[in-house]
Structure 1
Amino acid sequence: MILRRLILLSFISFQGIADTLPLEKLTLPAGFKIDIYASDVKNARQMALSENGILFVGSRDSGVLSAVIDKDQDGKAEEVLTIAKDLTMPSGLAIKDGDLYVAEVSRIIKYPNIENTFRDLPAPEVVIDGLPDKKHHGWKYIDFGPDDWLYVPVGAPCNICQTNGGKNFDNPEFASILKFNLKTKERVWVAKGVRNSVGFDWHPQTKQMWFSDNGRDMMGDDIPPCEINRVDEEGGHYGYPYYHGGTVQDPEFSEGKKAADYIAPAFNLAAHVAPLGIHFYHGNMFPASVKNSLFVAEHGSWNRSKKSGYKVMRAVLKDNEIVDYQPFIEGWLQADETSWGRPVALLTMPDGSLLVSDDFANVIYRVTYQK
């Protein structure tokens, strides 16, 4: 009943806000166009699309869930509804069998039959409880894998620390990616030694999992790199807090450790670009050469002397390796070091367009292609 009273339904007119964003500053490859799909989507993070086309959006700092509705399916939403509030960093969400799963810091909750209940949400069901409750890197990206298990990352509760047997944070769930069988309640480690992954996806053809990882801070402007990783075998250790980017020794925790004992990244990114959502494009609107490309939302640095990131990149794969990494959307970061947007997550729509959420500008963009 308490949660019922907290529910807020609000119709928002956002055309004026959309008109103020300098979309003309964004550059994309020839033939691609970017528009506003929805504005005033508070702190927009991960997105999930229902069977009938309602877009649900998580948040981090604002603690709300939003429903974005494009009634006439013209590629521009008419309604943005705040359907729940006062949640604890509900950044990640996923839809499975018509139910909406939402990741808070220490638990995963479920809103059943979301398409028919989102305008008057009942109290959620708790499906996973007892995850670490530290808010530092505690917000999550979640999704169901091809095996129907729910994948849940748990970030390190610090910039750099020992989390398994450590003095302050002795919990093996920290700095890892877990998966849960919601029917049997079984839990399996997908990856260990992962500082903070806020994005992952499965290759449409191989069904192999790839994930991003944010490198540690306070080692200078150019080290260590952020990472894109590939899961060749579940349960492997990816180096944190001992090694970063495969070969960079941590000055505090690498003593007595060997780089060869840990899984090297599939691809190293620039330092501090903060890769969040990664997404394999699987639509039919974009050119055939773009299909199965891995898009990476570089959220952008916060403590680098010269900012980096603030763009969407495209990774080109060949024989299961990244062979090229090129800009796809640039322009949120200006020459004077100011920024007016920060990309977070990506989603292929049924018509083949690509949605990009932005938790700084509070909007969702729609990218289309025409020859």
Structure 2
Amino acid sequence: MSILFALQRKQWLGQIVSVRLVSLALLTTVIPFEVLSTPALAIPPAASVNTKVNVPNTMSYWPFNISRYLKVPPNFSISVYARIREARFIAVAPNGNLLVSQPSTGKVLIVRANGSKDPIISDFVTGLRRPHDIVFHTINNTTYIYISENNQINRFIYKSGDITAHNRQVVVAGLPDGSRSELKGAYAHELKNIALDTNHKLYVSIASACNACVADTVSNPRRGAIYQYNADGSNPRLFAQGLRNAEGLAFLPGTNDLWVGVNNRDEITYPFKDATNNYGKIIPSYVDNHPAEEFTRVRDGGNYGWPFCNPNPDTASRFYYMPFDRDSKLNADGNVNCNAMDKIIRGIQAHSAPLGLTFLQNTKFPSLYSNGVVLGLHGSWNRQPKSGYVGYKIAYFPWDSTTKIPGDQIDLVSGWTLPVTEKYWGRPVDTAVDQQGNLLISDDYSGTIYKLSYNRSR
């Protein structure tokens, strides 16, 4: 075993570059049969057509003061639907209106179609503490809108056509945020994401306060974790842990399988005791591609490794069911058994920053893509400029209905970075499918809601 590991690490001798390693972990890690036996999925066309963004004259201020182009698949067009500063998470109401969270102002806005004119944008609810996620959910013929704040979860009774929120109920109070005395204002990921299942259970992601620290694993409530509640906020319990910053919580349609996109840690130290003598050091070329971001199903009682174990994409299994490496700072002695952690089903390129997650099944999005899922990749900061930025796109994963796992990632929309300078002019966050089958995309950097439309007449 030690000889094979030495061969694996030899690629790092004399240079520290981003490479794909052939790891012994493949020999000692059982790859689930569903991965080995999954037939090739039908992959729809990826983003390949450089397409001018259609912008109404009333919305043609920066960054649309010049022509902008995005890559989309053949037969698609993309336009600017609305301009909303720092737009984050979005949700389409049962009547077709769009709700948009704006954490920086403490508001959730409502966007209403207005025929051929610009949509009407107004305040739906104000005075919130950094509102983030928005979920519609019906219980016994009553439809609620759940809205997360950084310190609590609210729900409002919704009736079709409502343009302001009413009948507010705080269902979960006292969630940790930067006001906690022990955190002293230092909470890196205090925005909350939520989901509800068919049994009317509410799931709340309480993300980490730090990049990588032990304190979050022993706090009360646990941070870097997901908690489950009844829909009215009663009966709280820890559901899963070891998830640094789980965003875009969503259930696979027709199931109670909870899936999340996870922003993994930055500035990881080199984890291998090899001839490079880099163990425990921050090596930029290693940081560029490690650890993988995570797109995974979350089980009741699961532990997904953070901050003690980091998923390694450098094996023959690549981004599927990655083995874990011990963190050289927080788990150097192996006190936490990484082999006991739940494997991450699907990795994403490190530092892509996955945020909003939308399953396309049971929507009116074009049928060629409707058996799949999209993730907004907000984009990297923790990579060397010469290595190239990653993320800044809408990623699409075809879905295997038999194994219930995602296939290989393709780009659905890309181009928010400039090809020469790699400076970005937009950062996608979340997606939602409207009643006409268009994909709406929020962008908190340019302050835009885009509409990706399929041109069926072509």
TM-score band w.r.t. shorter chain: 0.7 to 0.9
- In structure 1, the residue matched to 2:278 is none
Whether 1:44 and 2:129 are equivalent positions in the alignment is no
Whether 1:353 and 2:353 are equivalent positions in the alignment is no
Whether 1:90 and 2:131 are equivalent positions in the alignment is yes
In structure 1, which of residues 46, 49, 61 is the aligned counterpart of residue 104 of structure 2? Answer: 61
Q: Distance in 2 between matches of 1:98 and 1:205?
A: 19
- In structure 2, the residue matched to 1:313 is 395
Whether 1:151 and 2:203 are equivalent positions in the alignment is yes
Matches within 5 A, 1:138-217: 138-163=190-215, 166=218, 170-183=219-232, 185-217=234-266
- In structure 2, the residue matched to 1:4 is none
Q: Residue 102 of structure 2: SS of its match in structure 1?
A: coil
Whether 1:269 and 2:348 are equivalent positions in the alignment is yes
Q: Which runs of 5+ in 2 are unaligned?
A: 1-55, 179-186, 269-286, 312-322
Q: Give the conservation status (yes or no) of the 8 Å contact 2:171–2:232.
A: no
Q: Deviation of residue 312 (structure 1)?
A: 0.6
Matches within 5 A, 1:275-294: 275-282=354-361, 285-294=364-373
Whether 1:108 and 2:153 are equivalent positions in the alignment is yes
- In structure 2, the residue matched to 1:126 is 170
Residues 244, 83 of structure 1: alpha-carbon distance in 2 compared, 3 angstrom cutoff: same
Q: Distance in 2 between matches of 1:229 and 1:29?
A: 26
Q: Distance in 2 between matches of 1:18 and 1:222?
A: 37
Q: Give the conservation status (yes or no) of the 8 Å contact 1:42–1:62.
A: no
Whether 1:78 and 2:119 are equivalent positions in the alignment is yes
One-letter amino acid of the structure 2 residue matched with residue 37 of structure 1: Y
Q: Give the conservation status (yes or no) of the 8 Å contact 2:365–2:433.
A: no
Matches within 5 A, 1:220-299: 220-231=287-298, 233-245=299-311, 246-254=323-331, 255=333, 256-282=335-361, 285-299=364-378
TM-score by structure 1 length?
0.87
Q: Distance in 2 between matches of 1:165 and 1:92?
A: 24
Residues 261, 172 of structure 1: alpha-carbon distance in 2 compared, 3 angstrom cutoff: farther
Q: Distance in 1 between matches of 2:262 and 2:67?
A: 29
The range that moved more, 251-260 or 77-86, is 77-86
- In structure 1, the residue matched to 2:424 is 339
Residues 201, 228 of structure 1: alpha-carbon distance in 2 compared, 3 angstrom cutoff: same
Q: Give the conservation status (yes or no) of the 8 Å contact 1:203–1:292.
A: no
- Measured against aligned partners, the alpha-carbon deviations of 1:290-328 in whole angstroms (never above 9, x if no partner) come to 122111110001232232110011112222233311111
Q: Residue 368 of structure 2: SS of its match in structure 1?
A: helix
Q: Give the conservation status (yes or no) of the 8 Å contact 1:58–1:91.
A: yes
Q: Give the conservation status (yes or no) of the 8 Å contact 1:111–1:124.
A: yes
Q: Deviation of residue 115 (structure 1)?
A: 5.2
Whether 1:323 and 2:400 are equivalent positions in the alignment is no
Q: Distance in 2 between matches of 1:16 and 1:147?
A: 45
Q: Give the conservation status (yes or no) of the 8 Å contact 1:69–1:77.
A: no
One-letter amino acid of the structure 2 residue matched with residue 99 of structure 1: Y
Q: Distance in 2 between matches of 1:280 and 1:154?
A: 22
One-letter amino acid of the structure 2 residue matched with residue 59 of structure 1: Q
In structure 1, which of residues 19, 35, 48 is the aligned counterpart of residue 79 of structure 2? Answer: 35
Q: Give the conservation status (yes or no) of the 8 Å contact 2:366–2:437.
A: no
- Measured against aligned partners, the alpha-carbon deviations of 1:132-167 in whole angstroms (never above 9, x if no partner) come to 12342110222222222222100010111114565x
Q: Deviation of residue 17 (structure 1)?
A: 2.2
Q: Distance in 1 between matches of 2:197 and 2:67?
A: 34
The range that moved more, 50-59 or 152-161, is 50-59
Q: Distance in 2 between matches of 1:133 and 1:104?
A: 10
Q: Deviation of residue 362 (structure 1)?
A: 1.2
TM-score by structure 2 length?
0.71
Work out the number of aligned pairs and report it: 350
Q: Distance in 1 between matches of 2:67 and 2:439?
A: 16
Q: Which runs of 5+ in 1 are unaligned?
A: 1-13
Residues 31, 285 of structure 1: alpha-carbon distance in 2 compared, 3 angstrom cutoff: farther
Q: Distance in 2 between matches of 1:118 and 1:289?
A: 34
- Measured against aligned partners, the alpha-carbon deviations of 1:307-350 in whole angstroms (never above 9, x if no partner) come to 21100111122222333111111110112121111111111222
Residues 94, 112 of structure 1: alpha-carbon distance in 2 compared, 3 angstrom cutoff: same
In structure 2, which of residues 49, 53, 59 is the aligned counterpart of residue 17 of structure 1? Answer: 59
Q: Residue 27 of structure 1: SS of its match in structure 2?
A: strand
Q: Distance in 2 between matches of 1:351 and 1:292?
A: 17
Q: Give the conservation status (yes or no) of the 8 Å contact 2:209–2:216.
A: no
Q: Deviation of residue 205 (structure 1)?
A: 4.0
The range that moved more, 272-281 or 204-213, is 204-213
Q: Distance in 2 between matches of 1:112 and 1:138?
A: 25
In structure 1, which of residues 362, 365, 368 is the aligned counterpart of residue 450 of structure 2? Answer: 365
Q: Distance in 1 between matches of 2:253 and 2:427?
A: 26
**Superposed CA RMSD:** 2.3
Q: Distance in 1 between matches of 2:124 and 2:450?
A: 21
One-letter amino acid of the structure 2 residue matched with residue 208 of structure 1: D
Q: Deviation of residue 24 (structure 1)?
A: 4.3
One-letter amino acid of the structure 2 residue matched with residue 159 of structure 1: N
Q: Deviation of residue 264 (structure 1)?
A: 1.2
Identity %: 28
